[in-house]
Amino acid sequence: MKTGADKDISSLNFEEAIAELEEIIDRLEGRESSLTLEEAVELYKRGILLSQHCKEKLEKAQQEINILIKNKDGELEEIPFLEEQYGD
Amino acid sequence: MEMNRQIFTIEQVNNYVKSLMDKNPVLQNLWIRGEISNFKLHSSGHMYFTLKDNQARIKCVFFKNYAYSLNFVPTDGMSVIVRGNISLYTRDGQYQLYVQHMERDGIGELYAALEALKEKLMKEGLFSQEHKKPLPAYPRKIGIITSHTGAAVHDVIKVISKRNPTVDILVIPVAVQGENAKDQISAAINYANTREDIDILIVGRGGGSIEELWAFNEEKVARAIFGSRIPIISAVGHETDFTIADLVADVRAPTPSSAGEIAVAEISSIHEALEGLDRRLQDTMTNKLKELSNYLDKLSNSYVLKYPERLFAAYEQRLDYATEKIMTNMDNFISARSDKFVRTVSYLEALNPLSVMMRGFSIVTDIEKGSIIRSVDELHENMQVKIHLTDGNATCNITSKEKEPANENWSR
């Protein structure tokens, strides 16, 4: 029953968190007869935390634009992709 | 001889040569195969170029009124077949081909090969809908496999960054045309699949001739796309270009910029979606609590909890009924006993000698023995007896006795 509910929220990525949030809402909205008040409140609390986590993820995310190159040793390396370095 | 000489102007000569050429039926309608070089599109709309092969070259002019129907833009290096007439440009004394029609050379074979490969891959199921992977709704990182110098990479990055500046981008640079293109593109797809962090791959390039787009029609690239665990958006050329890569890819974007739009949702719509989920979460919880509290109200308003005394009414009624019943039984019992008592009493009454005597009977006893005389046989003359009456007694002497035989039955 507790799909993913044991997982620490801070370790979830945005997509996992929003997917679990949707699942929780579906469970709360679906008149699941086996859901006790205590369980509903637990789900609700986790839903709130997941929602906050998603918002934080959106706000804190810093975009990285990299390009994969081979360095002098022939190893793959990611460096920032600066568009002005490459003309059309 | 010297006297007969006739001197012409250059123009006269050129005009004469031109007239010879224009009269020659062979030169009026020629098909020529060659490669375009020094191509120039004049602002007037006329095209000037040189057609060459390994042995020779010829100047060509393609006037606007013929060139307008071309469905491709001629470029240097392109193999073409042209039809036209040869004439002389008198000003320069330069003969040239006046092109009336131009078509791509080798395209027929190219298209035939393309169709054959398409047929083969289709039979294998590489294009079938059931293999198309859905795109994740909220990708964190997009891999772009294309030339790092072309316009395509710019367009994709610009679109993604504008729509959602939290999505990471990794450019995996490859040659998108030429000999190495198919190997590099397929290797890049395979490499991306060894990483865990890429959610969507965009594979493509900007517009170009069919030869330039050819790598995206290669079987090797098709198989790499098909084998990819990561969903792939193809973005090859323009709207009208349809390559095998487009058919195998999970989603086909008509252009590189639209690939960016398909891959990444606007961040505002993600915020909206999140707010929508928040609202639903609140609403559903509020509803749930309201429902529970309504149910609780309903329970406390229920008959038994509101009128607890009625819980006992039934029992009271039963008790009353039982009491009543037991009383009735008791009454019946008593009155039955009482009737019997009365009957017994009256029976006893009947037996009471006093009451017999009241009716006029008397009892005679033997004075000596004190016993009751029942028969004349117990009597003799001069015997003293006592007569008992209700209100007293008297002593008598028997003077005579007489037995009544008829009454013998009475004695016991």
- The angle that helices B256-263 and B151-163 make with each other, rounded to 10 degrees, is 30
Among B157, B194, B285, B296, the strongest candidate for a mutation testing the A interface, having the largest count of A CBs within 10 A, is: B285
Smallest Cβ–Cβ distance between B166 and the set A21, A40, A61 belongs to: A61
Mean pLDDT of chain B: 88
In 3D space, the residue among A74, A86, A64, A62 whose CA is nearest the CA of residue B173 turns out to be A86
Return the top range by mean pLDDT from A33-47, B52-66, B275-289, B388-402.
Answer: B52-66
Average pLDDT value for residue range B92-119: 89
Q: For residues B239 and B125, which has the higher predicted lDDT (pLDDT)?
A: B125
Contact in structure between B232 and B249 (CB atoms under 8 Å): yes
- Residue B231: CB atoms within 10 A of its CB come to 19
- Residue A88: pLDDT over 50: no
Q: What is the mean predicted confidence (pLDDT) over B274-301?
A: 86
Q: Region B253-276: what's the mean pLDDT?
A: 91
Nearest one of A26, A41, A27 to B292, comparing CA atoms: A41
Q: What is the mean pLDDT of residues B242-269?
A: 93
Interface contacts A/B by beta carbons within 8 Å? 93
Is the CB of A5 inside 8 Å of chain B's CB atoms? no
Span B28-32, average pLDDT: 94
State whether A54 and B274 contact (CB < 8 Å).
Answer: yes
Nearest CA in chain B to A31: B288
Q: Which residues contact B215 (CB under 8 A, 6 or more apart)?
A: B175, B176, B177, B178, B181, B182, B185, B221
Per-residue pLDDT band at A1 (split at 50, 70, 90)? very low
Enumerate chain B positions whose Cβ falls within 8 A of a Cβ in A. Answer: 136-140, 148-151, 153-154, 157, 161, 165-173, 267, 270-271, 273-274, 277-278, 280-281, 284-285, 288, 292
B168-173 β-sheet, strand order: A76-80, A65-70, B168-173, B141-146, B200-205, B232-236, B251-252
Band (pLDDT 50/70/90 cuts) for residue B412 is: very low
Question: What pLDDT sits at residue A74?
Answer: 84
The stretches of chain A forming alpha helices (DSSP H) are 14-29, 37-60
For domain B113-128+139-265, which CATH number applies: 3.30.70.20, 1.20.1250.20, 3.40.50.720, 3.40.50.261?
A: 3.40.50.261
CB of A13 less than 8 A from some CB of B: yes
Q: Of B270, B274, B292, which is closest to A37 when you measure between CB atoms?
A: B292
Residue B20: CB atoms within 10 A of its CB come to 11
Token code pair at residue A30: 């679906």
Predicted pLDDT at B332: 85
Interface contact A12, partner B, CB < 8 A: no
Task: Calculate mean pLDDT across residues B19-37.
Answer: 94
Q: Show residues of chain A in contact with B280, CB under 8 Å.
A: 25, 29
Which carries the bigger pLDDT value, residue B109 or residue B92? B92
Residue B88 to residues B14, B57, B85, Cα–Cα distance (Å): 7, 15, 10
**Is the domain B10-107 a CATH 2.40.50.140 member?**
yes
* Nearest beta carbon to residue B170 from set A13, A21, A68: A68
The model's pLDDT over A2-56, given as tens digits with 9 standing for 90+, comes to: 445 567 888 888 888 988 998 988 888 886 567 788 888 888 889 889 999 988 8
Contacts of B265 (CB under 8 A, 6+ apart): B137, B138, B163, B164
CB contact under 8 A, B281 and A13: no
Is the distance from CB of B262 to CB of B251 less than 8 angstroms? Answer: yes
Least confident of A38-42, A73-77, B141-145, B408-412: B408-412
Residue B55: DSSP 8-state: S
Cβ contact A88–B288 (<8 Å): no
Give the nearest partner residue to B281 out of A44, A81, A88, using CB atoms: A44
Q: What is the DSSP string of B173-242?
A: E---SSTTHHHHHHHHHHHHTT-SS--EEEEEE----TTTTGGGG-HHHHHHHHH-SS-EEEEESSTT--
Nearest by CB to residue B281, choosing from A15, A48, A69, is A48
Question: What pLDDT was estimated at residue A5?
Answer: 54
Is the pLDDT at B2 greater than 70? The verdict is no
Q: Flag whether pLDDT at A73 surpasses 80.
A: yes
Predicted pLDDT at B377? 85
Write b or e for each residue in B188-200: b if 16 or more Cβ atoms lie within 10 A of its Cβ, otherwise e: bbeebbeeeebbb
Q: Which of A65, A66, A71 to mutate to test the interface with B (most CBs of B within 10 A)?
A: A65
Q: What percent of chain B has pLDDT over 70?
A: 97
A57 CB neighbours in chain B (<8 A) are 166
**Phi, psi of B176, deg, nearest 5:** -105, 0
Q: Which residue of B has its CA nearest to A63?
A: B166
Residue of B155, B161, B278 to mutate, testing the A interface (most A Cβ within 10 Å of its Cβ): B278
Cβ neighbours of B156 in A, within 8 Å: none
B143 pLDDT more than 80: yes
- The chain B residue lying nearest A33, using CA atoms, is B288
Query: What span, in angstroms and rounded, lies between the C-alpha atoms of B402 and A51?
Result: 138
ipTM rounded to 2 decimals: 0.75
At residue B104, the pLDDT reads 87
Going from the C-alpha of B111 to that of each of B153, B219, B247, B307, the distances in angstroms are 28, 14, 16, 90
